[in-house]
Structure 1
Amino acid sequence: MTSASTSSTTDGPDWPRHTSEVRPWRSATRGPREDRMLREVTVSLPPLIAEVAYVPTAEDAARIERAAVDITRLDAVHGPVLSSFATFLLRTEAVASSRIERHDASLADLAKATIGMRASKDAQVTVAAARAVSRLVDAAGAAGAIELDDVLAAHRTLLKDDPLDGPVAGTLRTVQNWIGGSDYSPRGAVHVPPPPELVPAYMEDLVEFLRRDDLPAVAQAAIAHAQFESVHPFTDGNGRIGRALIGAVWRRRGLAPTLVVPVASAMLADTGEYFARVNAYREGRAAQFVRYLATSASMAAQEARISADNLAELPGLWRSEVRPRAGSAAASILDALLDHPVLDGDLARQVAGTSGAAAYEALGRLTDAGVLSRISTSQRHGVWAATEVLGEIDDLTRRLREA
Structure 2
Amino acid sequence: MSGYEPPLRITPACEALVGQVCNLVEKLERPGDGGKFWLDSLGELGRRENRIRVIHATLAIEGNTLPLETVRAILGGEYIADVTAQVLEAHNAGSAYDLLPELDPMSARDVLRAHGTMMSGLVPESGCFRSGGVGVFAGSVVVHAAPPADLVPQHMCHLLAWYQESTLHPLIKSAVFHYEFEFIHPFADGNGRTGRLWHSLLLGRWKEIFFWLPVEEFIRSRQQDYYRAFVVAGKEGDSSNFVELMLEIIRDSLTEVDVLGRSTDQDTDQDSV
Shift in CA distance, 66/212, structure 1 to aligned 2, threshold 3 Å: farther
Question: 1:213 Cα deviation (Å)?
Answer: 4.7
How far is 1:127 from its partner?
3.3
Structure 1 residues 172 and 127, CA, compared in 2 at 3 Å: closer, same or farther? same
Question: What is the distance in 2 between the residues matched to 1:172 and 1:188?
Answer: 24
Aligned to 1:69: 23
Given candidates 61, 64, 88, the residue that maps to 1:100 is 61
Deviation at 1:175, TM superposition (A): 1.1
Pairing partner for 1:177 from 134, 143, 148: 134
Verify the 8 A CA contact 2:4 2:159 in the aligned structure 1. Answer: yes
Number of residues of Structure 1 aligned to a counterpart in Structure 2: 256
Q: TM-score, normalised by structure 1?
A: 0.57
Whether the aligned pair in 1 keeps the contact of 2:52 and 2:71 (CA below 8 Å) is no
Tell whether the 8 Å contact from 2:64 to 2:86 is kept in structure 1 after alignment.
yes
Change (3 A) 1:74 1:101: farther
1:154 is aligned to 2:114? yes
Q: Report if aligned partners of 1:263, 1:300 keep a CA contact under 8 Å in 2.
A: yes
From the two aligned structures, give the one with the greater helix fraction: 2
* Contact 1:218 1:293 (C-alpha < 8 Å) held by counterparts: no
Residue 121 of structure 2 is aligned to residue 121 of structure 1 = no
CA distance in 2, matches of 1:262, 1:156: 23
Which residue matches 2:38? 78
Give the superposition deviation at 1:267.
Answer: 1.3
Q: What CA distance in whole angstroms lies between the structure 1 residues aligned with 2:250 and 2:67?
A: 25
Of 210, 217, 223, the residue aligned with 1:271 is 223
Partners of 2:262 and 2:58 in 1: CA distance: 23
Check whether the contact 1:179–1:191 (CA below 8 A) recurs between aligned residues.
yes
CA distance in 2, matches of 1:79, 1:262: 13
CA distance in 1 between partners of 2:17 and 2:9 (Å)? 13
- 1:277 and 1:105, CA in 2 relative to 1: closer, same or farther beyond 3 A? same
One-letter amino acid of the structure 1 residue matched with residue 208 of structure 2: A
Equivalent of residue 304 in structure 1, options 250, 257, 266: 257
Of residues 64, 81, 94, the one that matches 1:130 is 94
What displacement does 1:308 show? 5.7
> How many angstroms does 1:189 deviate by?
1.5
Structure 2 counterpart of 1:104, which letter?
A: T
Q: CA deviation at 1:59?
A: 4.1
Three-state SS of the structure 1 residue aligned to 2:151 is: helix
Higher relative contact order (CA 8 A, sep 6+): 2
- More off after superposition, 299-308 vs 219-228: 299-308
- Kindly provide the amino acid, as one letter, of the partner of residue 125 in structure 1: E
Question: Are residues 52 and 189 of structure 1, via their aligned partners in 2, closer, same or farther at CA, if it must alter by over 3 Å?
Answer: closer
Residues of 2 paired with 1:305 and 1:227: CA distance?
30
Q: Please give the per-residue CA displacement for 1:352-400, whole angstroms capped at 9, x wherever unaligned.
A: xxxxxxxxxxxxxxxxxxxxxxxxxxxxxxxxxxxxxxxxxxxxxxxxx
For the 8 Å contact 1:98–1:125, the answer to whether it is kept is: yes
2 CA distance for matches of 1:55 and 1:278? 15
Q: Which of the pair has more CA radius of gyration?
A: 1
**Which residue of structure 2 aligns with residue 112 of structure 1?**
73
Contact 1:176 1:196 in 2 (8 A): yes
* TM-score, length-scaled by structure 2: 0.82
Q: 1:171 is paired with a residue of what secondary structure? A: coil
SS at match of 1:179: strand
RMSD, aligned α-carbons: 2.9
Q: Which residue identity lines up with residue 89 of structure 2 in the other structure?
A: V
Q: Deviations over 1:204-243 (max 9, x none)?
A: 1111122135101111111101111111111111000111
Contact 2:29–2:38 (CA under 8 A) maintained in structure 1: yes
The answer for the alignment partner of 2:271 in structure 1 is none
Gaps of 5+ in 1: 2-47, 315-403
State the distance in 2 between where 1:53 and 1:121 align. Answer: 37
1:241 is paired with a residue of what secondary structure? Answer: helix
Provide runs of 4+ in structure 1 moved above 6 Å: 309-314
Do structure 1's residue 228 and structure 2's residue 181 form an aligned pair? yes
**1:196 aligned onto 2:156:** no
Code of the aligned partner of 1:147? S
Offset of residue 52 of structure 1: 5.0
Kindly provide the CA deviation profile for residues 36-88 of structure 1, in whole angstroms up to 9, marking residues without a partner as x: xxxxxxxxxxxx97345867344421211212332454466211232223222
| Preserved CA contact (<8 Å) 1:98 1:240 | yes
Structure 2 matches for 1:17-32, cutoff 5 A?
Answer: none
Residue pairs, 1:223-262, within 5 angstroms? 223-252=176-205, 254-256=206-208, 259-262=211-214
The answer to whether the 8 Å contact 2:107/2:160 transfers is yes
**Bigger CA drift: 299-308 or 201-210?**
299-308
Unaligned runs of 5+ in 2: 31-36, 268-273
Contact 2:185 2:191 in 1 (8 A): yes
